[in-house]
């Protein structure tokens, strides 16, 4: 595993569905639904969308969870409970606070009607520094990033341009293969 790099395991951008940053949430949800159906038929396919700007450059990614988060606009100020766990804040501690914020105080149909027209460019946040990895980085560096930051995938870069995606599952398979070959 020491001799392999991120480039050896990354998935090229061509394997992913893309959506324009100008698309709306409904269009993104449709594309994610189609990606999910294709994944169910062939688990080698991908369930996330890559978001492209006006020049066709990849500027981010979108998952099913991102669509759901749009329906929880009051939850954004509280933050991500996963990242808060580093500070000893548990989901059980957050639950009463979230209930007091009265999430989902509107029916789902009303929430969806408003959210469907929101453009992807208003939803996308620039990927954090920890979500990128250079294609020539070692797999141990990528493992460190994935485990420390709790990401399911990393955007792979070459000369500050996104060229692929490194998925957690692909690294796990490599680790498992290496463990299988070890004489324990």
Domain map (residue ranges) of the chain: 6-181
Q: By C-alpha distance, which of 36, 37, 63 is closest to 49?
A: 63
Enumerate residues 6+ apart whose C-beta is below 8 A from 171: 9, 139, 142, 143, 146
pTM of the model: 0.73
pLDDT in tens, 94-107: 667 666 555 556 66
CATH number of 6-181: 3.10.580.10
Neighbours of 6 (CB within 10 A): 23
Say whether 48 sits in a helix, a strand or coil: coil
CA dihedral 99, 48, 162, 132 (to 10 degrees): 40
Give pLDDT tens digits for 160-171: 899 999 999 999
């Amino acid at each position: 595993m020491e001799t392999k790099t991120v480039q050896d395991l990354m998935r090229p951008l061509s394997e992913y569905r893309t959506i324009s940053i100008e698309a709306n949430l409904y269009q993104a949800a449709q594309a994610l639904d189609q990606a999910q159906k294709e994944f169910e038929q062939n688990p080698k396919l991908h369930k996330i969308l890559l978001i492209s700007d006006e020049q066709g450059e990849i500027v981010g990614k979108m998952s099913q969870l991102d669509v759901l988060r749009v329906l929880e606009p009051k939850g954004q100020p509280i933050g991500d409970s996963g990242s808060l766990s580093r500070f000893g804040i548990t989901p059980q501690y957050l639950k009463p606070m979230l209930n007091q914020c009265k999430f989902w105080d509107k029916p789902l149909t009303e929430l969806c009607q408003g959210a469907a027209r929101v453009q992807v460019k208003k939803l996308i946040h620039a990927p954090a520094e920890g979500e990128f990895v250079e294609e020539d980085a070692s797999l141990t560096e990528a493992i460190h990033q994935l485990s420390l930051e709790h990401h399911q995938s990393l955007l792979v870069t070459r000369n500050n341009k996104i060229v692929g995606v490194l998925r957690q599952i692909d690294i796990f398979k490599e680790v498992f293969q290496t463990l299988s070959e070890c004489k324990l």
